[in-house]
Chain A
Amino acid sequence: SQQGEEDPQALSIQEGENATMNCSYKTSINNLQWYRQNSGRGLVHLILIRSNEREKHSGRLRVTLDTSKKSSSLLITASRAADTASYFCATDERNFNKFYFGSGTKLNVKP
């Protein structure tokens, strides 16, 4: 598979803890994105990080990108029950005009 792959497949934490999800990919990219999907709904864009960026923040979200290791991580700090969702990374590695998605990490935040 040439698209990004998330790890772990599932993660269960207590409210207030931090959640870290990882994404690995195989070839060079221009951009990497993270999305969130609530059960049975469409995906919502969270953050885009470019290949020349190492870190990006948005509220409680922190995304890092290590192009030498071909990996990215998404950190959600001080998690809330409302953060329960699936999280996907998407990379444009095969064609710079479109993005390919991984299988996602299912996050469960227990109240």
Chain B
Amino acid sequence: DVKVTQSSRYLVKRTGEKVFLECVQDMDHENMFWYRQDPGLGLRLIYFSYDVKMKEKGDIPEGYSVSREKKERFSLILESASTNQTSMYLCASDRGDYGYTFGSGTRLTVV
């Protein structure tokens, strides 16, 4: 089974801090995604990557950047955390016909 691992389940950060959320997949998938999930808003795509060093903005990229230096790792960076970035962050890896495999999520609180 494909496994997608997010480094932290819960994080608390201060406003203005630079925050790194890490995601690792254990297969050779090219496409990886970062979503945030908020009540009533569903999942919204922040960024996705279709290969090493290749990335594309999703619907809500403002305040975020990403890094994909190795195929298995896709990092989401909050350049200067703000309270409106408090959310559940979900990483996913694309298995083609078998859909996405999601990590367990990181619940980030910015205080």
Could you tell me if B40 and A103 are in contact, using CB atoms closer than 8 angstroms?
A: yes
Asked if A48 is at the interface of the complex by the 8 Å CB criterion, the answer is yes
Chain B interface, DSSP helix/strand/loop, else mixed: strand
Number of A-B contacts defined by CB within 8 Å? 52
Question: Which residues on the B side are within 8 Å of A33 (C-beta)?
Answer: 99-100
0 or 1 for each of A73-111: is its CB under 8 Å from B? (1 = yes) = 000000000000000101000000111111110000000
A54 within 8 A of B: no
* Contact indicator A103/B42 (Cβ below 8 Å): yes
| Contact indicator A40/B107 (Cβ below 8 Å) | yes
Chain B contact patch, size range: 20 to 34
CA distance A97 to B100 in the complex (A): 12
Tell me if B90 and A103 are in contact (CB < 8 A): no
Q: Are B33 and A43 in contact (CB under 8 A)?
A: no
Does B50 sit at the interface, judged by CB under 8 A?
A: yes
